[in-house]
Chain A
Amino acid sequence: MKPQILFRNCLAPFLAMSMYAASACADVVVVVSAKSAITHLTAEQVTKLFLGKTATFPNGGNAVPIDQAEGSSIRNEFYSRIANKTPSQISAYWTKIIFTGDGYPPKQLEGNLDVRNTVANNPNAIGYIDRSVVDSSVRVILAP
């Protein structure tokens, strides 16, 4: 991790006393089921899936993104690293999409284990979790 990015993602929220509590600097990785054919995606491709700009993987398969709970530090870190967006920006983005009738944000699950288990059981799912809970049921396809 570049020092500048470390500062932005991990230290800045403490220094700024941001209203969005960041409890720890998690090491976030993007995962799919071990049963999925996907082996690697770029940050741009993952961003498009999580922001609903596409609903399919580059190989044409349906994609079901699984988000983490709003306000969680891993979610804030994921969007900061992947799309350089703050929680308010993500919230404003989905407000625009919802109230233009263009869609709804991905389903949210509570916590790394829930996301890992759901992703593991669904070959179409894509999620992000802390590296420490990765096991053989899921495949890491990007470490943003």
Chain B
Amino acid sequence: MFNELKEIICAYVDINPEEITEDSRFIEDLGFTSYDFMSMVGELEDKYDIEVVEREVIQVKTVGDAVNYIQSLQE
């Protein structure tokens, strides 16, 4: 899932996939705006067939957080 997420991230921001780690913060390190982040979450909803709760997802800061959150919704 981490690799799939990297690919999706690169569609939103101009960054080398090799630079993305689990600790990369979406806004501070990867340059996402808050809107782009939420748009990407919407795309992840469809891709992984999950329903995200907005007030929970705003606590997601890093790529690792995102992977964990998606996996928790899939269980």
A-B complex is real: no
**What residues of chain B have their CB less than 8 Å away from a CB belonging to chain A?**
none
